[in-house]
Amino acid sequence: METKHSMVKQAIQSRILDGTFLPHQKISSESELMKEFGVSRHTVRLAIGDLVSKGWLYREQGAGTFCADRQANGSASDTRTQKNIALITTYISDYIFPSIIRGAESVLSEQGYHVTLFSTNNNHETEREILEKILSSSFDGVIVEPTKSAISNPNLNYYLNLERQNVPYVMINAYYDELEPLYVAMDDEKGGFLQTEFLIKQGYRKIAGFFKTDDLQGVKRMKGFLKAHRKYGIPIEPRNIVTYYTEEKADKPALELKELLALPEKDVPDSLVCYNDQMALSLLNILRSENIRVPDDIAMVGYDDSFLADVSEVKLTTVEHPKSGLGETAARLIMELVKEKKGSAAKKETKQESILFEPNIRIRSSVKMMAEAHKQ
């Protein structure tokens, strides 16, 4: 069980790490902390004493307690020869993430960098805890995949504090738009367009799209889906756009697909655009349970060209993702930023630019070509 003084200490640390207390700024008084946490003055003094001894705070006689400049204190005594990079992804062992991680690690390790892996599990609270660990430690740079990048993020202050501490970071797969960071990602809007355009060019017109919209990738892929319909003058049926959040991915898309399949025959979709290959296989299971054949009865396009695209009895037509190539590119970019920082600690501008990978369609057997589609 956490002690009272540990609770107070952790709260003060969190406020330092999220930028509530800046270097040389006076923190809350003992009386204010006693009132806020409902603890004794002795407990508050124990917490503050621990933080003073560890270099997080300093006292000035008669003036109060202040937030220490840990960056200045650390840089004066930092004699490390090895550079440390934090690599944060939403998942580590699932789907395409091992390939991305291997790509980044191989480049960084080759250049003598030590890599520490973290996973947010696409959860904002876990992201906050990880950012606090990073800000409390000696990391020279961070590669991070944003958590639920399409919705308001409660942890932006931690990224601003990384900037204040002159710790460069690069975002992968998506980015927090408010921060305007450097990032390495797919052109997901174009990818969603290509998925849809490919089906349209094969003669499909009743296309249903399934998109995870708590991340930027899904939002952009859905935008591409809509753009393709508009370009080719195909009316968009609102019920054919299925959106879901991370927590809903196991249930909502399956239920929505079953409802679409239960429509009168003239309204049932003839093809599916899927947020990724994982979702495509999940929907393929539903189709199989309904005795609906792919591609004979309904076509399907995935995204990411993951190993899943090739393991099912129906090989998925899908959008290619660079995977290890994306990780390698992000690693090279963060190394350049770390070098720039070393050359000029006060440097705010960089010559580096964000990098977008161009998507391409990988054709397999989950879509009937136009001639085949009309032989039936």
pTM: 0.85
Query: How far apart are the C-alpha atoms of 346 and 357, rounded to whole Å?
Result: 31
Express each pLDDT in 79-102 by its tens digit. Answer: 556 799 999 999 999 899 999 999
Out of 170-174, 271-275, 301-305, 311-315, pick the least confident. 311-315
C-alpha closest to that of 341 among 75, 21, 161, 109: 75
Query: How far apart are the C-alpha atoms of 155 and 166, rounded to whole Å?
Result: 17
Confidence of residue 252 (pLDDT cuts 50, 70, 90): very high
Express each pLDDT in 305-333 by its tens digit. Answer: 999 999 988 999 999 999 999 999 999 99
**Secondary structure element (H or E) that encloses residue 170, with its range:** strand 169-172
Is the Cα dihedral 193, 194, 199, 203 positive or negative?
Answer: positive
CB 183 within 8 Å of CB 217: no
Reduce the DSSP state of residue 65 to 3 states and report it. strand
Reduce the DSSP state of residue 204 to 3 states and report it. coil
Q: What domains are defined for the chain?
A: 4-75 (1.10.10.10), 79-186+324-357 (3.40.50.2300), 188-321+361-373 (3.40.50.2300)
Q: What is the pLDDT of residue 202?
A: 97
pLDDT: which is higher, 340 or 371:
340
CA-CA-CA-CA torsion for 128, 129, 131, 137, nearest 10 degrees? 160
CB 177 within 8 Å of CB 113: no
C-alpha closest to that of 304 among 221, 199, 204, 202: 221
Span 221-235, mean pLDDT?
Answer: 98
Tokens representing residue 52 in the block? 């003073």
Is there a cis peptide before residue 295, judged by omega within 30 degrees of 0? yes
Reduce the DSSP state of residue 63 to 3 states and report it. coil
Classify residue 266 by its DSSP letter. G
